[in-house]
A and B are shown apart, each in its own frame.
Chain A
Amino acid sequence: MNEMRLKTGLAEMLKGGVIMDVVNREQAVIAEKAGAVAVMALERVPADIRKEGGVARMAPPEKITEIMEAVSIPVMAKARIGHFVEARILESLGVDYVDESEVLTPADEQYHIDKFQFKVPFVCGARNLGEALRRIAEGAAMIRTKGEAGSGNIVEAVRHLRKMLSQMRRLTTLGPEELVTESKELGAPLSLVQIVAKTGKLPVPNFAAGGVATPADAALVMSLGAEAVFVGSGIFKSESPEKLAHAIVEATANFHDAAILARCSKGLGMPMKGLDIHQLRAEERLQERGV
């Protein structure tokens, strides 16, 4: 119980902030200077994984250590879904959060990691409430939308966030016997369904990820109820990463203030080009992994 409070406690501290994907020391320093609350260490950003193909794995330990030494903010790192050995390695390196991520090639197509066995906290992606509650049942201390990583297109993150929020709202209107059936249909433990029905929110922090490319995108997901924002390829695949990183931090904190958003959206150059989700084949959609 106390272990879980420490895990969600760090997520509380990250709220209202931006977590940026970085692949080396230089990018990590840019992210920290721009005001990121944390960085996510990975080998390649999702847009490159998509382009280059092949198996995407945990970043090499020396890369992660290099990033941890370069910044004073928390460092997260990605492990493949179900790859509890990669997660153990990340834990032993001392990372602050592990992202069991669909962006990497899954190592187990049936099971996720038993995250209660770890002292390091985990974040997991979800497209809907059922997925979110299953991940929490496995020990995730933070949920993020999956969105469609590396697409530069916010549409999927919006879909997932809206879906989760409307499913949670619905639960608050149901009677006790209806919750039992709902638990069956969501494929989620009744105990967690009952908690959501009572509070109207997830028992862990709920962040947005997947497709954020502009300050307006970040402000959009915050306005829809996300508690913080992950930015993957968006920053370092844009024309001026430093400016964009600053602007997304400012937009996330001031998401309700259109005048600030207008100002910080100026002069950022070209954002990443992005993909039309409808042009992606089913097997190209990272969000279908690990449901």
Chain B
Amino acid sequence: MSSQNLRIGILALQGAVQPHVEKLRALSAEPVEVRQPKDLDGLSGIILPGGESTTMIQLLKLNHLWDPLARFTRERPAWGLCAGTILLAKEVVHPAQESFGAIDISVSRNAFGRQLDSFIEIVSPTDHWVDQNRQEAVFIRAPRITQVGSGCDILFQMKSEPIMVRQGHALATTFHPELSTSDIFHRYFVDLSEQHG
């Protein structure tokens, strides 16, 4: 499927923005850095990158982006990674904090521990994923998805624990595909944005 001229936003207030820019460019999609409400205009989808969710919440409010982005993620394709997953979730614990509720999951912050507990693992897809190939997954101070609503499909899991979940046009990943060489995850989101955007 051609992703030419498909404009994909990346929330760029804080966090690992640049790796997504490079992945999207390599797929011929047009990355758009989102800092203000007007930056959401004309996007087919948006990536909420890894970073610090507490910082992002502050900045989303200061830049008057909280409400427009909450609306966008409930209506259009949105992919949260790590901190982004925390923003998209329905419920956040440890500690509790506000979120958009764009995907019916509960998330526990830093649930694998601190940086010394960060790790890289080869993980397996479920039947809901596009193929059966195992993929590398980089976890950095990662959150855990502790509950998954009935409307969600689990796309990847690790030791039977969900690490990538989809509900309609919303996608949540607790690891960092932007730090691995494969572009399959970004290709999946570009396709999803093309279909639903």
Contacts and interface: CB of A to CB of B under 8 A. Distances in A.
A196 B18 CA distance: 18
A97 B15 contact: no
A192 interface: no
A275 interface: no
B44 to A, nearest CB: 24
Please tell me the size bucket of the interface on A: 20 to 34
Given A6-B118, A9-B140, A74-B115, A16 B15 contact: yes
B50 interface: yes
B179 A17 contact: no
Contacts of B62: 250
Interface residues of B, number: 35
B176 interface: yes
Nearest to B120: A2
Given A17-B51, A253-B35, A94 B114 contact: yes
Nearest to B178: A12
Contacts of A97: 115
A249 B138 contact: no
Given A6-B120, A91-B116, A15 B16 contact: yes
Residue of A12, A14, A120, A249 with highest tally of chain B CB at under 10 A: A12
A34 interface: yes
Given A10-B118, A13-B83, A73 B50 contact: no
19 contacts: A5-B179, A6-B115, A6-B140, A9-B118, A10-B115, A10-B140, A12-B15, A12-B50, A15-B16, A16-B15, A16-B51, A34-B58, A74-B52, A74-B115, A94-B114, A119-B116, A120-B116, A253-B63, A254-B35
Interface of B: 12-19, 35, 50-52, 54-55, 58-59, 62-63, 82-83, 94-95, 109-110, 114-116, 118-120, 138, 140-141, 176, 179
